[in-house]
Amino acid sequence: MLVIGAGNSMLLAVAPPLVRELQLGDSSVGWIFSLSALLWVFASPYWGRLSDNVGRKPTIALGLFAYAISMASFGAAVMLGQSGALTGFALFISLVLARSIFGAFGSASSPSAQAYIADRTTAFERTAQLAGLSSAFAVGQAFGPGICAWLASHFGSVFPIWLVGVLAFAASVAIIMFLPERTAPHSTRQRASFGQSLALITDRRLSGYLIYGFALSVVAGVTVQVFGLFTMDRLNVSGALGTQLTSYGFMANALALLFTQLVVLPRISMGPRSLMIWGAALTGIAVIAQIFAPNLEMLLVSQALQGLGAGLARPGFTGGASVAVEPHEQGAAAGLVVAVNGAGFIFSPIVGGVVYEHFGMNAPLVITALVLAFMFVFALVSRRLRDAVAVETASDPSTP
């Protein structure tokens, strides 16, 4: 999760200056990620279900290996674009297909990792432990952009992309060799068919969390896509300086998220619903602050507030969804949670890139603020969400 977080934040930091260097439209930033997000949505439930049957370890390793291939392919396509061997539509399609490898096969890692945690925790421990898993992703997000900016300035914009590919391959090998998985696949537990697993989408135990999670993913997809463009246009910068300043924003966001999950969450007593309410409220304030930010300092403050809000909202809906289902449904539920996490990137090219190009730099953020207002009200009034789990028993079946 550390490697994936670092790689994704590096790619998001370098993408806006790269598409302008390669003479692609601003909205192509979102479109490059959109097919991958669509594949992610449909593939994640499959991989989560498969991890129930074959074990968590092999599916986590497979996802990391696919991520390595995706990043290497993406770097190769960028190099061909910079040399002039690929241009225009052919270059755009090459970038889209390279990223799509991650959506189709790299999506195996996240639901399997979440289910790995669920296998080894009680219902009372799960929200905190899943937040800890998210913290590894956040560490990568925090330091990835800064490392990317330094490497890009010394070795070129493609070098960080290749480096992440190498690290993902090494992580895949490390998972195979060192990750302990002494618990067998769930062969002795009740198994639902794949169709029944997908039916969890409309299950009242889970559907409220998925609705909130989908809205949160739209917010994340739009804000990360437009931040680099917004920063370059608001501060009137471009190229390597644009990458550097965008990286500062992503680092502020991720460090605040990390602080929330490592320092704040262990010291507060909030159930999933409360975390979701406060997360939506703080993120909404942050987006409004970004709209009116006149300088880099205020942009960094807005990003830090977004990280704080996400650090509350994401563990709230992830932990709540896990606690809401039975042990034999953990893989399927984790797959659906991961699917909605990526679903927002399907719509971000329209809500983010196209709206940014045709209606101005503030328009995507106004839409995002309205989505966050819906999330706040939904979390406040929905009867599908719970703020506490049932009393724990000694025979909690979620304990392996």
pLDDT of residue 79: 92
- The pLDDT > 90 percentage for the chain reads 32
List the structure tokens of 39: 């594949």
Q: Which amino acid is at 13?
A: A
Local confidence band at 398 (pLDDT 50, 70, 90 cut-offs): very low
pLDDT, tens digit (0-9, with 9 covering 90-100), for 336-365: 887 887 777 787 777 887 888 888 899 999
CB of 339 within 8 A of CB of 47? no
List the structure tokens of 191: 């198994």
How many helices (H) and strands (E) would you count in the chain?
15, 0
Q: Which of 94-103, 156-165, 178-187, 366-375 has the lowest mean pLDDT?
A: 178-187
Distance CA 220, CA 68 (A): 23
The rounded radius of gyration (Å) of the Cα atoms in the chain is: 20
Residue 303 has pLDDT above 60, yes or no: yes
Helix (H) / strand (E) containing 382: none
Residue 208 has pLDDT above 80, yes or no: yes
As a whole number, the mean pLDDT across the chain is 82
Q: What backbone torsions phi and psi does residue 292 show, to the nearest 5 degrees? A: -100, 5
Q: If 0-12 CB within 10 Å is exposed, 13-18 middle and 19+ buried, where does residue 268 land?
A: exposed
Mean pLDDT of 17-28: 82
Mean pLDDT of 82-104: 92
What is the pTM for the complete model shown? 0.71
List the structure tokens of 269: 């007593």
pLDDT, tens digit (0-9, with 9 covering 90-100), for 245-260: 888 888 888 889 888 8
Local confidence band at 190 (pLDDT 50, 70, 90 cut-offs): very low
* Residue 44 CA: distances (Å) to CA of 106, 110, 150: 9, 8, 33
Residue 168 has pLDDT above 80, yes or no: yes
Residue 391 has pLDDT above 60, yes or no: no
- Residues contacting residue 391 through CB under 8 Å, at least 6 positions apart: none
Local confidence band at 188 (pLDDT 50, 70, 90 cut-offs): very low
Sign, CA torsion 259/262/268/274: positive
pLDDT of residue 237: 85
Distance CA 34, CA 347 (A): 7
